[in-house]
Structure 1
Amino acid sequence: MVLQLENLSLRRGEKWILKDLNWQIEKGQNWILFGLNGAGKTSILNLLNAYYFPTKGKISVLGMEFGKQYLAERLRKQIGFVSSSLQQKFHQGDNAFEVVLSGAFASIGLYETPSDEMRKKAVTLLENLGCIDYANRNYETLSQGEKQRVLIARALMADPPLLILDEPTYGLDFIAREKLLESIEEIAKSPNAPTMIYVTHHVEEILPVFNKTLLLKEGQVFASGDTNELITSERLSQFFELPVSVIWNNDRPLLSKVHMVKK
């Protein structure tokens, strides 16, 4: 079991951010975590990375149960995490190659001397993700799409059993988004691929490799299960509380609002 949440609740101050969550992820599954802004997605990610601890309930990630051992540093080294929020944390002057290498140590910045094997692996990842041409450029000068590709390469440096992609296409235009999604699909299909959680509020980003979905609404599980059973016109109309239409094309869903004709 990669992830297990049992009746998990999280309170910040007087407000319950998450309430009675139950979620299980088995090795080899790839999940969509779908919810609107403010639904609690970021709070779940902070829990998974041991930045938050549950107010009630149990959480186990990669076989490590929270509260029974000090696990924060060890856990984070086994989770590949990609988020645009990381982009501002790297030091000015770090180039793309150094950012990727830092993933071997789960650090922001490169403070330890990487081995030759680590350097070779970083080069391979940069090549596989189409980043090698700007490996020596300062990270801060890269485009949004280039930065996200570098962050994915960084996340894969330690061969993580779990890869979390937190809205990785944020700020990308259509072409850059589709190229990045192609790279994610290739990762999912590669030998010894990590289990993946893809966090989004855009239905059109759901790739065929993500065959499981959790719909999160107002801090609670609205529904979870097979993607093709949840990403439907009927279910999402209930979720959004307004009539929507979902059309599947080339194994990808497209969402639109249904305009009611006034009589």
Structure 2
Amino acid sequence: MPAAFELSKVSVVRPGKTLLDDISWTVGDDERWVVLGPNGAGKTTLLQIVGAALHPTSGTVDILGDRLGQVAVAELRTRIGHTSTKVAERIPPAESVRDVVLSAAYGVTGRWREEYDDEDEVRTDQTLGEWGIAALAGRTFGTLSEGERKRVLIARALMTDPELLLLDEPGAGLDLGAREDLLASLEALASSAGSPALVMVSHHVEEIPVGFTHVLMLRDGRAVAQGPIAQTLTAEHLSTTFAQPIQLDHDHGRYAARRAGYGRRAMRPADTGGNA
């Protein structure tokens, strides 16, 4: 199975802090991964490495057949779709939704004087339709709800038909309804034979779409566990990852987690029939 990317003994060290520590990780081009971990675990740093936006301090990184450090990263990045809050922050609030998606063809976040061909125009309309946001095409990005913005950002990331799609906390800030709408779309994307390799970062198991195949769990920059989701996403591994006892439930492909014993109250003498 061809690898979308392969990290071997990757570390990222900054003064006084190790952000990633000896990470080895291989993702096949037909796999859908979720990366789980608490704040500060190294998830976003890892996604920057995989997105060719950051070089490791040590170790090797091969992305889409090219070795990071031996390839023009600007060209490599055009083959990778990436959504994050940083991308959203660079988009001018007055930019139309259609131009937000269309401008991905040039890798810019604000349309200026670029010339787009008919293929770009058709692809933009197709992508807007596939993600159910064609009705938003004339709206400006700054007027969208958080859920609408997340869908527009994913449509933008898919505009160039990438070989690898990276989603950095796509469910963050969404209400329940918007989250479920987004997950339904991601489930459809994950099950499509023509979809790119997918990596999604999250804090919450509840945000894992049905159809995702693998999980990587991080804590303090190190891998706690990684592998097929059915065998690897366990209460034991979650408890280690989040440093507290976790109970994990699974139903029809969806997961739910809570602190083990949450909601129980201490037994008092009156509860056991004793005297107060």
State the TM bucket, normalised to the shorter chain. over 0.9
1:172 aligns with 2:170: no
Alignment of 1:207-222 (within 5 A): 207-222=209-224
Q: Secondary structure of the equivalent of 1:2?
A: strand
User: Structure 2: how far apart are the matches of 1:108 and 1:62?
Assistant: 24
TM-score, normalization by structure 2: 0.91
Q: Deviation of residue 261 (structure 1)? A: 6.3
Q: How many residues were matched structurally?
A: 262
**What secondary structure is seen at the aligned counterpart in 1 of 2:247?**
strand
How far residue 262 of structure 1 moved from its aligned partner, in angstroms, is: 4.6
**Structure 1 counterpart of 2:60, which letter?**
K
Q: What's the CA shift string for 1:11-44, capped at 9, x where partnerless? A: 1123211110000011101101111110011111
Report what 1:84 is aligned to: 85
Give the residue type in structure 2 aligned to 1:76.
Answer: R
- Aligned residue in 2 for 1:96: 97
Q: Does 1:202 align with 2:204?
A: yes
Shift, 1:200, TM fit: 0.3
Deviation at 1:229, TM superposition (A): 1.6
Q: Which range moved further: 105-114 or 138-147?
A: 105-114
Match of 1:16, SS state, is: strand
Q: Would the aligned equivalents of 2:224 and 2:237 in 1 still touch at CA under 8 Å? A: no
Matches within 5 A, 1:94-133: 94-111=95-112, 112-133=114-135
1:182 shift after superposition:
0.7
Residue type of the alignment partner of 2:181? K
**Residues 48-101 of structure 1 deviation map (CA, whole Å, 9 limit, x = unaligned):** 2222211111011111101223x2111110111111222121123210000000
Select between 237-246 and 158-167 the one with higher mean Cα deviation: 237-246
Greater Cα shift, 23-32 or 180-189: 180-189
Partner in structure 2 of residue 67 of structure 1: 69
Q: Give the drift of 1:191.
A: 3.5
CA distance in 2, matches of 1:91, 1:175: 27
Alignment RMSD (CA, Å)? 1.4
One-letter amino acid of the counterpart of residue 26, structure 2: Q
Alignment of 1:22-33 (within 5 A): 22-33=24-35
Sequence identity, in percent? 37
TM-score of the pair, normalised by structure 1: 0.95
Q: Secondary structure at the match of 1:170?
A: coil
Q: Deviation string for 1:167-221 (max 9, x for gaps)?
A: 0111110000000111111112224111100100101111231110000110011
Q: Is the 8 A contact 2:225 2:237 kept in 1?
A: no
Whole-Å separation in 2 of the counterparts to 1:217 and 1:245: 18
Any gaps of 5 or more consecutive residues in structure 1?
A: none
2:49 to 47, 50, 62: 47
Aligned-partner residue type, residue 102 of structure 2? L
The one-character-per-residue Cα deviations of 1:99-125 (angstroms, maximum 9, x if unpaired) are 000111222222421111211111111
Q: Which residue of 1 aligns with 2:270?
A: none
- In structure 2, stretches of 5+ residues that fail to align are 268-276
Report the equivalent of 2:274. none
Larger Rg, first or second structure (1 or 2): 2
Identify the range of structure 1 (13-22 vs 170-179) with the bigger mean alpha-carbon deviation.
13-22
Deviates more, 1:7-16 or 1:215-224: 7-16
Give, in angstroms, the shift of residue 238 of structure 1: 2.8
Which position in structure 2 is the counterpart of 1:56?
58
2:248 to 230, 246, 249: 246
Q: Does 1:17 find its partner at 2:19?
A: yes
Q: How far, CA to CA, are the matches of 1:251 and 1:146 in structure 2?
A: 25
**Residue aligned with 2:105, SS:** coil
